[in-house]
Every structure is written in structure tokens, then in C-alpha cells.
Structure 1
Amino acid sequence: MTALAVTRATVARVFRDRTALFFMVLLPVAIIVVIGVTVSGFDQFRVGLVPAARTGPVARELVSGLTGAPGLRTRTYDSAADARTALRRAELDAVVVVPDGLDAAVRDGRQVTVPVLVEPSGSAGHAAVSSVSAVVAGHAARLQAAAFAAGETGRSFDDALALARDTDRAASPITVRGETVNGRSDYLPLGYSYSTPTMLVLFVFINALAGGAAIVQTRRTGVYARALAAPVSARSLVLGETIAYLLLALVQSLLIVAIGALAFDVDWGDPLAAGVLVAVWALVGTGAGVLAGALFRTPEQVHAIGPALGIGLGMLGGCMWPLALVPDWLRTVGYAVPHAWAVEAWTTLLSRNGDLAAILRDLGVLAAFAAVLLTLASVFLRRRLTAGSGT
């Protein structure tokens, strides 16, 4: 019960400290929300649309199909010159120019070409052409069906086109699903699903280190010394502080997970595996934070060194960029820090549809990091407390 009393006192003290609360909870959440808004649509192709000068139902339907395509993020331009300028500035991946006289050409049975403009060196543009071609092909299929129906039944083209649209909506389409057997991806998903897991790994660790400043301040003010004068053992103090900082790390992790899932539709993979991974990483962060509180002499040292150390380890461990992109020697060095194993586990869950069994090796390594850090933190903090110096 004594350790739990220490835990309650520490948690209450942190939540009363507005500065600590801001840096531990509000700032990481604000940064992640900004990143989420910034990268929204990152997995879509940016396509400029230049409508025809004389539009009819056929041209309007083509524009509507391109605008509503899930893989395209479209923007309409008044002229082809403006769209070309945006393409040269890399504001767009491709430009679709709807030809003038499209409706008349279709009714006359003439072949129509829809120009798609891309930069020669832009790989995204050539990939965007495939998405645009799929939309245009579906539109062309309805036009062909309408032309056939008009010729066979004697209906007007507009009536036959309306019939083709109704038939297309009523029919059950045949979908093709591609699956790579034993496929592996070394990258997290694009967009917010990439930034959220890596930011969780980064911020939980950094804020745990920053939280060590509170332990240093408590030591310096003599609170621990007064507690030891009462019937409270050093072991209870260490255990209580460790549980408190573990709870804070878990709260921060769950907040990030909830914001990602509810606000940005992030899929965290297998729930059991994700939950275990979050808990183990919180233990790693807790061990690092309590160890920082035991080793540093002043809160200023923690604030100066802790964030820089956390960011450096995060960069080395793949929180800023995938380790698959760095040289082999740097990738090997990266796996010397726990961040790389955490990011690797998230990659397995989110990009390879892994489950708990698939990340057991990563969890085992992280658990070993946590055990070492927590053991060192306990030993050094107890020495600090029992030395009686308070510094």
C-alpha cells in the first residue's frame, strides 16, 4: 500500500504541474495532429482537371468520375496553361485535359483521346496515369454500351446512356483482389499510418526521459529524505515512482492510439499484439525515465540532454525514416537501440498483417531492454535515496 500511495502522490503532482502536463500530453498530441492533417491524402495522386470549354453530359460525367475516384485528389483549373504551370512546380502529379467537343464526337461514333500530362521524370505521374486510365476506361465502357443499345433498339443516345448508367449501378461488379503470398514490406503504410506509430515510439520515450527531471527535483528538495524518515522503505519509494511513470507512459500511449484511430482512421493491426507492444514500450520508456532521474544531478541537465538524446536515438532507430533506406552498417547500428525493434514490430503489424506470434522476437528484445533499464534505474535510485545526500 505504501508504494501505491507514492504512486498516487506522484501522479497527482504531475497533473497539477501545468508545464509538465503540457509537455507530456498536450504538445505530443498537438504535433501528431498537425502531422496527421499535413499528410492527409498523401496516399492519393494529385491530379489537375481542365474541363472542356463546351461541356455536355458525357464530359460532365467524366469529370465527376475523376473527382470521385478514391485514389485521386483533384483540383480544377480554368486553363491548360495554369495546370501545366502547377505541374512544372510539382504541385500536381498529372493533368487531365478534357477535350472540346467530347459529347459530339461520342455521339458521332468517333474515337476520342483524353490527354494526360505528366513530367518526364516524375514516377508518381506515371503511376497516376494508371489510376486515371482506369476511370476513363470505365467511362468508355458505359459509352460503348450506350452506343450499342442505341443502335440495336433505336433509342436516342441519351436514353441509351441513361439505361447504361442504371444497369451499371444495378449490376454487381466483379472485383479483383491482389494478394502477395508471403509478402513482406519494410515500410510502414503511407500517410498518417506512417507518422503515428513512429511518433508514439518517439514521444513516449522522450517524455519519459523528461519526466526524470521531476525525480531529480524531488530528490533535491528533500522530499525523499523526509519520506524515508517515516516508515517508508527506499524500495517502496522506487516501486511507487516506477509505477507512476509507467501509468503516465500508458496514458500518453493510449491517447495517441485513440486520436489516430478516431480522428484519422489509423488501423493499429491486431488488437492483442498492439496492446502488448504499447505496454512493453511503456516499460522501456519508464526504465529510461527513472534511470535519468537517478543519474542526473539537476533538472536542467535532464531538460538539456534528455530531449536531444531521445531524438538522436529515435533518428538512429528509424522513427524519422525507414531503416531500409539507410546503409547496411547504419542499419546494424540502429538495431542497437530499442526504437528500431519497436518500429520493426509496428511495421510487422501494420504492413505485414502480423499478429502477436509474428512480433514475439521484437517483444523479447524490447522486454530485455526494459528489464535492463528498470534494473539499473532501481539500483541507482535506491543508492541515491539511501546515500542520504538528496543530490
Structure 2
Amino acid sequence: MTALAVTRATLTRVLRDRTALFFMVLLPVAIIVVIGVTVSGFDQFRVGLVAAPQAGPVARELASELKEAPGLRVSAYATGQDARTALRRVELDAVVVLPTGLDTDVRAGRPVTVRVLVEPSGSAGHGAVSSVSAVVAEHAARLQAARFAVDETGGDFDHGLGLARGAERVAAPIAVRTETVDGHSDYLPLGYSYSTPTMLVLFVFINALAGGAAIVETRRTGVYARALAAPVSARTLVTGETVAYLLLALLQSALIVGIGALAFDVAWGDPVAAAVLVGVWALVGTGTGILAGAVFRTPEQVHALGPALGIGMGMLGGCMWPLALVPDWLSAAGHAVPHAWAVDAWTALLSRDAGLSGIGQELAVLAGFAAVLLTGASLALRHRLTVGSGM
């Protein structure tokens, strides 16, 4: 029996185990989808829009621009009372009320006031006002240009508005770009783009650690002992098991990356660097899982201690919150576990547009963790199989 045959047998056994599939595939995917749905739109303000049922073209155009603004998530309300109720229930950050006679006042050259309602205690409301004001100001500039065209050419307002739109399409907009010299971000992007990389680090490690229970069960049922009675070496068994659990870790990583990219538009940075980072982290998880399978005596021990250990290391390593926010001594302690180095690498890829060379230090440290864990796991499992009679 070759190592690949052992790998094939292990993969077949795991893939037929519904409980293992639930914890390795369905549970992480379900949690990630729930998080994605919950935090989607996290970087947008929730705005209610109240417009007259028979609004004119100018009001409809302003409403359309508000709905298309990237920083706003606009919901239309039939009445102002409904919108105010939603605002009081904290379902909205602000309410925009378009005046009933907006088109009439604009065509007559009279000033128009667009009211924006916010809760006094709501901090997000003031940010929503700024975003709404920017959209309204851009729309007002177009109307002013149309009024100027009417005054100069003597045509009607619709003709002037058409000229203003045409000039707006032809004229190159002035772009403002902000750049911090010699600066960098110590944080992952907001929203789902923050959760996905940290969930990948956390779940791949925890599930690889929990996978050690299957190795313990295989030892306890004597499968390894019967295999060693055949012309199969302990080294072959260890290699086959290692490759099998590495493939499972890579499969889970691919699922998380794919769901994040396809369902929630998560950008994973440089593809080569991201692939290398995923592979190295899978090696770290595999080494941890094999080591757990060699050290623990019963599957119950793995199930009881494994998740707690994985979650504790994830918290210490910055999977729940950025280590840049904690005291220096706690950040230094966090880098004693591999999770912190993995999160640092994802931060460099997603927040600083780093490439493979930009995460070289993190990859080297993670490769060191992987080498130590895989070597220790291999020696420990071989010792169990040969000296410990599989127990």
C-alpha cells in the first residue's frame, strides 16, 4: 500500500462521515454566509427617501441620483410618517424629504430646501447628511447651469437643462485623491472583507485541529495496527494521512475564498501571494491536526479541548479584533501564535496591495510554524504507531 492509497482511503472515510462534513464544510459556510448577509452594506448609510407620488422629472432625477450614490442605501417610503417611524426604530440613519413643489420652484427660479431628518443621538446620521449633501450639491450645480443657459439663450428650462447635461458629459470632472506619504493601514477593510480572511484563518485551523479526532478513532479501533501487519510502514501511513488532511484544509480554504469572491465581492489581493498564503496556512493547520491526533488519547478529548484551544489562539492572534488596537504587550503575545502572522499577511495583501515579496516575512514565519508542527506531528504519530501499539 502506497501513501496515496492511504490518502485515498482517508478521504473516502472522511467524506462519508456526515458529522465531519457538517463541521468541515456546512457549518463554516453557513456562518460565513450569515456574517456576509449581516455586514453587507456596512460601509453605507441607510437613508429613507420621501417623494411626492406625482414628482416631476427634476425630483425624479434627484431621487435616482440618491439611489445610485455608492455611499447610500436608499429605501423609498410612501409617507413621511412611515419614514420617521423607521428612523425612530433605528432602521434608518437619515430621512430625505423632497419638497412637493420642487420642479415648480426650480423652474420659477425660487430657492428649494431639501430637508434631511436625523435622530439627535445617532452618530451615523451626521455622516449620512454629508453624503446626501454631496449628491444634492452636484444636482443643484446642474440646475444652476441650466438656469444660466436659460438666462443667456432665452430658451425654456428643459432646453437649458439638456445643455447643462451635455456640458457635464463633455467636461472632465475634477478628481480629488488623498494619499498618505509613507503611510500604511494596520487594519483589514471594513465589512465582509474584514470578516472573511479572519474566518478563513480561524475555521481552517479549528477544523484541522478537530480532524485529529478521526486519527485518534482510527488508532483506537486498530485500523493502523492492522495496516502495519501488512507490508506498510509507519512512515507511509503518516505521509498518507498528512496529505489527506492537507487536501481537506485546501478544499475548505477554496470554499471560503470562492464564496467570499463570488457571493460578496471580496477582493483577495494579489492572486499568487494569496494562493501561497492559503497553502502555507493549510500546512500549519494540517500539522496541528496530525499532532492532535497523535497526542490525545480519545476523540472526546479532541472535541472538548480542540475548539476551545483554536478559538483562544484565534482571539489572541487577532481573528476577532485587530491587534493594532490592543496594548503592545498583548500584540507581542499574540504573535506567539501563527494566527497573528496570517492576519498580518492578509492585512498587507488587502489593505496595502502588497505582493508576494510584501508578505515574505509573514510567510517565512508561518512556514517555520508549519515545519515545526509537521515534524513534531510526524514523529509523534510514528511513535504512537510503532511503540504505543496505535493507542
| TM bin (shorter chain) | over 0.9
Report Cα offsets for 1:13-59 as digits up to 9, x if no partner: 11122221221122211221221122211121111112247632222
Q: How does 1:1-391 map to 2 (within 5 A)?
A: 2-52=2-52, 55-169=55-169, 171-391=171-391
Distance 1:113 1:354 in 2: 46
Distance 2:287 2:238 in 1: 11
Distance 1:117 1:183 in 2: 37
| Residue pair 1:269, 1:349 contacting (<8 A) in 2 also | yes
User: In the TM superposition, what is the alpha-carbon distance from 1:140 to its structure 2 partner?
Assistant: 0.6
Report Cα offsets for 1:279-311 as digits up to 9, x if no partner: 110011001100110111111111121112111
Supply the RMSD in Å over aligned alpha carbons. 1.9
| Residue pair 1:225, 1:388 contacting (<8 A) in 2 also | no
Report Cα offsets for 1:73-106 as digits up to 9, x if no partner: 0112233343333333332222222123222221
**How many percent of aligned residue pairs carry the same amino acid?**
79
Distance 2:354 2:312 in 1: 28
Distance 2:282 2:245 in 1: 9
Distance 2:184 2:94 in 1: 30
Distance 1:359 1:321 in 2: 20
Report Cα offsets for 1:109-130 as digits up to 9, x if no partner: 2222222233344443222222
Helix, strand or coil for the counterpart of 1:76?
Answer: strand
User: In the TM superposition, what is the alpha-carbon distance from 1:255 to its structure 2 partner?
Assistant: 1.6
Distance 1:243 1:275 in 2: 18
Helix, strand or coil for the counterpart of 1:48?
Answer: strand
Distance 1:5 1:357 in 2: 37
Distance 1:89 1:122 in 2: 11
User: In the TM superposition, what is the alpha-carbon distance from 1:166 to its structure 2 partner?
Assistant: 4.1
| Residue pair 1:52, 1:97 contacting (<8 A) in 2 also | no
The residue type equivalent to 2:325 in the other structure is L
Q: Structure 1 residues 215-224 or 127-136, which shifts more?
A: 127-136
Q: Structure 1 residues 65-74 or 125-134, which shifts more?
A: 125-134
| Residue pair 1:54, 1:101 contacting (<8 A) in 2 also | no
Report Cα offsets for 1:188-246 as digits up to 9, x if no partner: 11222111111110110011011101100110011111111112111111111111111
Distance 2:131 2:237 in 1: 61
Helix, strand or coil for the counterpart of 1:96?
Answer: strand
User: In the TM superposition, what is the alpha-carbon distance from 1:61 to its structure 2 partner?
Assistant: 1.4
Distance 2:122 2:341 in 1: 34
The residue type equivalent to 1:244 in the other structure is A
Structure 2 unmatched runs, 5+ = none
Give the direction of change, closer, same or farther, for the CA distance of 1:260–1:130 in structure 2 (3 Å limit).
same
Structure 1 unmatched runs, 5+ = none
Tell me the number of residue pairs that the alignment of Structure 1 and Structure 2 aligns: 391
TM-score, normalized by length of structure 2? 0.94
Helix, strand or coil for the counterpart of 2:379?
Answer: helix
